[in-house]
Structure 1
Amino acid sequence: MRHIYRCPLRWADMDAYGHVNNVVFLRYLEEARIDFLFRPDKDFQQGSVVARHEIDYKRQLVHRHAPVDIELWVTEIRAASFTLTYEVKDGDQVYVRASTVIVPFDFAAQRPRRITTEERAFLQEYTDGADDGSGDSREGEAVAA
């Protein structure tokens, strides 16, 4: 299953060339990620941090009043991290493909933590079938971000 976030475009998102600035796409991904992870019924209350972003710009997105769709799904679940993958698109027209590695984090202890059973079950609902949710072969090891 995929999570869909309808992201509004703002005038301030444009650069001098009249299209959405490449850096702004990181904010769009953040908005989609927050919409996905921090819902009243399903959230990562204990916290998480971004360990890595990868972004592939496919085509320019020209500013308009209609929102753009961001599809988000889970492509990997490990013992102490997971990967979200995104497409920023209109129908079949893809503007950006991206991924983010997220590490659950214990802010009180100031260290990464393992994914809880509840978090894993939630994430598995949004996998694309490539990850069986059982973690990786390093399940017993401490996994660093």
Structure 2
Amino acid sequence: MTPKLTPPNLDLFSFSCDLQIRFSDIDGYMHVNNGVYYSYFEHARALYLYQTCGWNVMEIGTVVGKTTIEYIKPIHLDDELSCMVRCTRLGNSSFDLEQLIMSKKGDGTTILSKCNTVMVSVDMKTMKPTPIPEAYRSKLLPQG
């Protein structure tokens, strides 16, 4: 028996960006290929870090330490997509991001996929983990 998923509280997400489906993203089953989801989530993560924190990846970079994706419903060519992103944990040099791909068809929104990623802050010269700069740390987690 599959456990029932608890829907996430969308009010906890303050960042969202639109995603564009390319015709080449569609596979023989007439939906977006599962491998393309990684690209969608990566694009949204990069925008989140840049637009929310002003993160300069040429000085302190970020690399993916771990990522998991849940495929909830297939994405089709006519879906209007957005991706919500939020930080759920801050460590010394790592942080966790939760992301949702949503479809904006019709009157409501539907969650199509969920991603959890552990990001690691790295020094771009040595490529070794480095503490998350305070200027970014203060912008990653919501105040309150």
Q: Normalized against structure 2, the TM-score is what?
A: 0.80
Q: 1:52 aligns with which of 37, 62, 66?
A: 66
Equivalences for 1:1-145 in 2 at 5 Å? 1-39=13-51, 42-45=54-57, 46-64=60-78, 67-90=80-103, 91-125=108-142
Deviation at 1:40, TM superposition (A): 9.3
Unaligned runs of 5+ residues in structure 2 are: 1-12
Distance across 2 between alignment mates of 1:117 and 1:83: 16
Number of positions where the alignment pairs a residue of Structure 1 with one of Structure 2 = 126
Moved runs in structure 1, 4+ residues, more than 4 A? none
Asked whether the 8 Å contact 1:84–1:99 carries over to 2, the reply is yes
Q: Which moved more, 1:68-77 or 1:32-41?
A: 32-41
Unaligned runs of 5+ residues in structure 1 are: 130-145
Q: Normalized against structure 1, the TM-score is what?
A: 0.80
Asked whether the 8 Å contact 2:53–2:140 carries over to 1, the reply is no
Which one-letter code corresponds to 1:85 in the other structure? Answer: E
**How far does the alpha carbon of each residue in 1:23-51 deviate from its partner, in whole angstroms, 9 at most, with x for none?**
10000001101111124971143111110
Distance across 2 between alignment mates of 1:41 and 1:49: 16
Deviation at 1:119, TM superposition (A): 1.2
Q: Which has the higher helix share?
A: 2
Distance across 1 between alignment mates of 2:51 and 2:100: 21
Distance across 2 between alignment mates of 1:120 and 1:40: 11
Q: Percent identity?
A: 26
Secondary structure of 1:101's partner? strand
Secondary structure of 2:17's partner? strand
